[in-house]
Amino acid sequence: MAQGNCSNKPPELFFPSDGAGVEKAKNICASCPVKQTCLEHALSHRIDHGVWGGCSERQRRRIRKERRQRRMEKELLISSN
């Protein structure tokens, strides 16, 4: 994302191998003007590695799971009416 805080940073910063690296990447994302767009891109393309939109791999898995559950609940509610 050309407008992102990451555009002038080395890509490897966003693919850390430890928790300290994840926090460093998330700090760069914190004030990014395209943070939400970046996160949605990673979620919709099921990007499993790295920090995207200020979220770690684990956080994105949790978001996908929560969204899936909400969709299922909504579908169940619609089908029961």
Mean pLDDT computed over 6-32: 97
How many distinct structural domains can be found in the chain?
A: 1
Which range of residues forms the domain containing residue 33? 5-80
C-alpha to C-alpha distance for 28 and 60, rounded to whole angstroms: 17
Closest CA to 27 of 35, 17, 38: 35
Kindly provide the residue ranges of all beta strands, DSSP E only, lying in 18-69, ordered along the sequence.
none
Q: Tell whether the model's pLDDT for residue 41 goes beyond 90.
A: yes
Q: Residue 52 — φ and ψ, nearest 5°?
A: -130, 130
Q: Which two tokens stand for residue 27?
A: 């700090």
Max Cα distance, the chain (Å): 52
Confidence class for position 81, pLDDT limits 50, 70, 90: low
